[in-house]
Structure formats: structure tokens, C-alpha cells
Amino acid sequence: MKSKNLSLVASAMLAASVVMAGSIASAEDLPQTKAHQQFSVRQGFSESTLTVLQRAAALDQNKVGAALVEQLQKGNAYQASKDGSKLRLAGKEWSLEVASDGAAADYHDQAVEARAHSLAKPLSQEMPAAELEQKGRAFISSKLASQIVLGTGEQLIAVRADYRTEGGQDLATGEITHAVSGNRIVFGRTLNGVPVVGNGSKVIITFTNDGSVESFRYDWPKYQAGTSQQVVDAGQILTRVQTVVGAHSDVAAATSNAPVANSEGDAYPVALTPNTQLQTLDCGYYDAGSLAGKSQTVQPGCTYLAVSQDSNGMRAGYAGAVPAGAQFTADAGWSETKLLGRK
């Protein structure tokens, strides 16, 4: 599984400068997210058992699409079509896609994106994470309230803030400058204090510097409780991560169990193998999301990000999720359960 970041390629040529490819100025996990990552790698879970969840029955994607258009583009003409199982609604300068189960949607406003470059600001003036969170919550309350619904014991939490940048070079002086043209906030969900990790239960909103919404996407199902699973401890979780990362041909074989960090200092990076380090671990309910076409079962699991480096200095990244149940359910769409189930 590969992570996705905000990106922009700008090719405009100006009289005195050239705009270069965009990048991420920063992709910063918020303090509560960092704290949870530290807890995950040290202890895994605070509870010994967790309830297995099921994504609830599908919503009508046509009704979801119509409701969103009413909120976002009321009165504007659009055309509806199918892109595989997804419903696509498109107007003159905007588009909306709704997943087949109605629980996920992806919206893009090309008119807002077109003016993002002209609104770019110096890096020092990027929108603070607290302001981004406030704007994001206000947008959800005003435009997505019928889709982003919280059940008993559930909370909407801010997870991270990302910033899209543009680089420019003055052709006369050679000076290179960078400016922020997009600000993104990522929200997640907790269930009785346990976060949902993976692509499910996420709301991602991108604002331009004037506060306009350039795009958003969400995956927000209703969950139904099922049976319970006993979860393993941090040491066993790390062993599972070692196993799945070690299955890659360019990762050196582990020579010992990965160490579980003590309570002092930063727990990362964690040595998984002689040439591979674990950068982050997030434990909770693992939901791959409706757009991934995975199982409707949501089990205890931990997402991971690891980086290896070969003898030539070449680096490679690995991201995915391992199940955390002592006896987990095999999932045809979750490769790590198949690999670990053979062990």
C-alpha cells in the first residue's frame, strides 16, 4: 500500500521567473497523532480485547450524490454517468464521484484550483494547523453534516496537516523561492477512544489560501458491532511487521526480534532488520476503505511505515497494515492476513 500526498505540477512560464514542480512543504502529524504512534509501538492497545466491526449496509449512491450536489452546487447543471461501480457527477468546472456503497465521495472544484497559484503565500504564512482544523470542522458541519455522522462513543479528530508548495526561480538573479498554494487537513474517527486506522473513517479537505474549498474526499461508513478478538501485545505486533516487511526481496532478513521501546524518549525509528527501520506504527480498528474494494469486516490492526536502505544508499518505503488479533480473520483483500496466516 502506498501513501498518497497532495501534489501539484505547475508549468507556467512568467516573464521574469519560472514556476517549478510543486511538492509538500510539510506533512505534519498533529500532537495527538504522534502521541498515539508512540503508544502503539510501546504498548499496542490499551485494551486486551476489541469488538470486530462490520461496515453497515450500503447507502444509495444516487441519493448521496444528489444530497451533496444540493449542498455544494445548488442550481447548477451537471451530468451523471457511471465509472465502473462509481457514480460520477460533473458540472462545468467541478466533479464528484460517489463509491458504490455510498459511504465515500471525492469532490474537486477546478475553478478554485485554477486560482490557487495566484493566491500563493510565502512558506512562513502557511495556514496554522489549528486554523485548518477550525475551517475543516466548519465545512463538515455546514456541507457534510448528513454524511459525516457520529454514533454513540464516536469522535471526529484532527489527524494531520499537509501543505502544497510551488517553487519558483527568478531568471535574472537565480534566486529560488517557495510558496504555499494549498492547505490540507485530515480528520479521522475514534470509537470509544480507539482510532480507526487505514483509509476508512477519513475526511480530507483542501483549502486555498483565501479559505475556498478546492477538494475533499471522505470515507465514512456506519459500523455495526460483532464478536470480539483478543489482541496481541506490542512485541508480537512488531514481529508481524518484521515478517511482512521481510517478505520483500530487497529487505535483509531479521536477525532478532524487534525491540519494544521503553517509556523514555522517542521510540522511533525501530530496527526491524539490519537494513530496515520502522518509522511509524498506528494501532486501532483497521478499515481499508470502500474504494479499496476490501472486506466489510473491520478488525483490530496496525498500519506501518518502514524504510530500507541497501548498500548503495538506495532507499525504499513499505506501507501496509498487520492484523492485531490473536486469532484474526483471513481476508482475501488484505494481503498481510494471508501471509501471516501461513506462518
Weakest mean pLDDT among 4-8, 153-157, 230-234, 314-318: 4-8
- Given this model, what pLDDT does residue 1 score? 38
- Is the CB of residue 16 less than 8 Å from the CB of residue 192? no
| pLDDT confidence tier of residue 58, bands split at 50, 70 and 90 | confident
Single out the residue of 52, 89, 104, 73 nearest to residue 226, CA to CA: 52
Q: What is the mean pLDDT of residues 211-236?
A: 95
Q: What is the mean pLDDT of residues 18-39?
A: 72
* Dist. CA 231–CA 20, nearest whole Å: 48
- Given this model, what pLDDT does residue 18 score? 41
HEC profile for the chain? CCCCCCCCCCCCECCCEEEEEEEEEEEEECHHHHHHHHHHHHHCCCCCEEEEEEECCCCCHHHHHHHHHHHHCCCCCCEEEEECCEEEEECCCEEEEECCCCCEEEEEEHHHHHCCHHHCEEHHHCCCHHHHHHHHHHHHHHHCCCCCCCCCCEEEEEEEEEEEEEEEEECCCCCEEEEEEEEEEEEEEEECCEEEECCCCEEEEEECCCCCEEEEEEECCCEEEEEEEEECCHHHHHHHHHHHHHCCCCCCCCCCCCCCCCCCCCCCCEEEECCEEEEEEEEEEECCCHHHCCCCEEEEEEEEEEEEECCCCCEEEEEEEEECECCCCCCCCCHHHHHHHCC
Three cell numbers written together for 61: 449512491
Three cell numbers written together for 273: 532488520
Model pLDDT for residues 129-172, shown as the tens digit of each residue: 999 999 999 999 999 999 999 999 999 999 999 999 988 776 77
Three cell numbers written together for 210: 483565501
- Given this model, what pLDDT does residue 238 score? 97
Strands 94-98 and 86-90: antiparallel
- Given this model, what pLDDT does residue 176 score? 78
Q: What is the pTM of this model?
A: 0.88
Model pLDDT for residues 234-257, shown as the tens digit of each residue: 999 999 999 999 998 788 888 899
Mean pLDDT of the chain: 88
CA distances from 271 to 102, 147, 268, 283 (A): 41, 41, 9, 18
Residue type, 121: K
Q: What is the mean pLDDT of residues 39-65?
A: 94
* Dist. CA 58–CA 241, nearest whole Å: 32
